Amino acid sequence: MSRALSSDGSHSTLADSVIQIRAGELEVGVADVGPVDGPAVLLLHGWPYTIDSFTEAASILAAAGRRVLVPHLRGYGTTRFLAADTPRNAQQSVFAADAVALLDALDVPDITVAGFDWGARTANILAALHPERVRGHVAVSGYLIGSQQANARPLPPVAELAWWYQFYFATERGQQGYEQNREEFARLIWRTASPEWQFDDATFERSLTALQNPEHVDIVIHNYRWRLGLTDGESRFDDIERRLAQAPTIAVPTITLEGDANGAPHPDAGAYAAKFTGPYEHRVVSGGIGHNLPQEAPAQFAQAILDIEGMKR
């Protein structure tokens, strides 16, 4: 059976295809499209973006016979915590744990995983720590696994400037400001991270609903404060974070992508190439492509996922 993207008569979106799945400590809202028996692809979004970033790429992949899974991350869309007392934790390792729990709940043994922003970091972690579950790996902006220790080291002033919102979120004023101004904040990040992307109001507004999740602000604030060592994660992830702090290499077949007009902070490709010890290729996507590469260049993003299958381990 194949599940196509549904339509409201004017625009097909992944949000129209979301189902709710209990997985780990969450009820996950996940779009599940394409043939149910096709090779599974897991697509992971970042902040302040949503599953809508993958609508066109998912359609291409589903038409090519892939089962495409696109979950709302914790704190986004229709994903909810099952228990009120569960910590609203957003350290890097918890998103990978959420992804594994979702795959287990859906009885999906292995995947090609792809993502950008927070989603690229989660894809990196899955590929590094769970290679038995990952057939291949596509990461926008390359290798993003970090640690609180590494983040404690100051950067040159111009680099620190690019992370202004991280420091803003470190304050109570920043938390209140984001709560009150989610729409303006998201629009600003979209524009600065993709300075040449001429998205229209309708495209932007389709994503806003997912940012109204009741846990969204708590998750965003915890993520950025955890990175700076200003708040703790959960002790059950301590061993995993120690492994991640060693910047583990990734041996599964990998393609990294970078837009030629990415306005968001990102590492140079030469700085991370050695982290990929298996079959590896880096591609620059031209045409004024910014940070939200899957939505700005969906054909190139989808093609990288399909090309992974030709890269032998």
C-alpha 253/C-alpha 246 separation (Å) is: 21
Please report, to the nearest 10 degrees, the dihedral formed by the alpha carbons of residues 43, 25, 105, 109 taken in order. 60
Per-residue pLDDT tens listing for the chain (313 residues): 445 564 333 346 898 899 999 999 999 999 999 999 999 999 999 999 999 999 999 999 999 999 999 999 999 999 999 999 999 999 999 999 999 999 999 999 999 999 999 999 999 999 999 999 999 999 999 999 999 999 999 999 999 999 999 999 999 999 999 999 999 999 999 999 999 999 999 999 999 999 999 999 999 999 999 999 999 999 999 999 999 999 999 999 999 999 999 999 999 999 999 999 999 999 999 999 999 999 999 999 999 999 998 887 7
The pLDDT value recorded for residue 312 is 75
Output the 3-class SS for the chain: CEECCCECCCCECHHHHEEEEEECCEEEEEEEEEECCCCEEEEECCCCCCHHHHHHHHHHHHHCCCEEEEECCCCCCCCEECCCCCCCCCCHHHHHHHHHHHHHHCCCCCEEEEECCHHHHHHHHHHHHCHHHEEEEEEECCCCCCCHHHHCCCCCHHHHHHCHHHHHHCCHHHHHHHHHCHHHHHHHHHHHHCCCCCCCHHHHHHHHHHHHCCCHHHHHHHHHHHHCCCCCCCHHHHHHHHHHHCCCCECCCEEEEEECCCCCCCCCHHHHHHHECCCEEEEEECCCCCCCHHHHCHHHHHHHHHHHCCCCC
Crossing angle of helices 172-180 and 182-193, in 10° steps, is 90
How high is the pLDDT of residue 307?
98
From the number of C-beta atoms within 10 Å of its C-beta (0-12, 13-18, 19+), residue 151 rates as: middle
Residue 42 — left, alpha, or beta (φ > 0 → left; ψ -120 to 50 → alpha)?
Answer: beta
* Residue 61 to residue 120: CA distance in whole angstroms: 18
* The two three-digit tokens of residue 258, written as one number: 């970078």
Asked if residues 282 and 269 have their Cβ atoms less than 8 Å apart, the reply is yes
Q: CA 54, CA 52: separation in Å to the nearest integer?
A: 5
Structural tokens at position 168: 């803003």
Instruction: Please list, residue by residue across 203-228, b when 16 or more beta carbons sit within 10 angstroms of its beta carbon and e when fewer do.
Output: eeebbeebbebebbbbbbbbbbbbbe
What pLDDT is stored for residue 309 in this prediction? 86
Residue carrying structure tokens 């700085």: 271
Residue 173's contacts (CB-CB under 8 Å, 6 or more residues apart) are: none
Whether the upstream peptide bond of residue 48 has omega within 30° of 0, thus cis, is: yes
Domain made up of 2-308: CATH architecture: 3-Layer(aba) Sandwich (3.40)
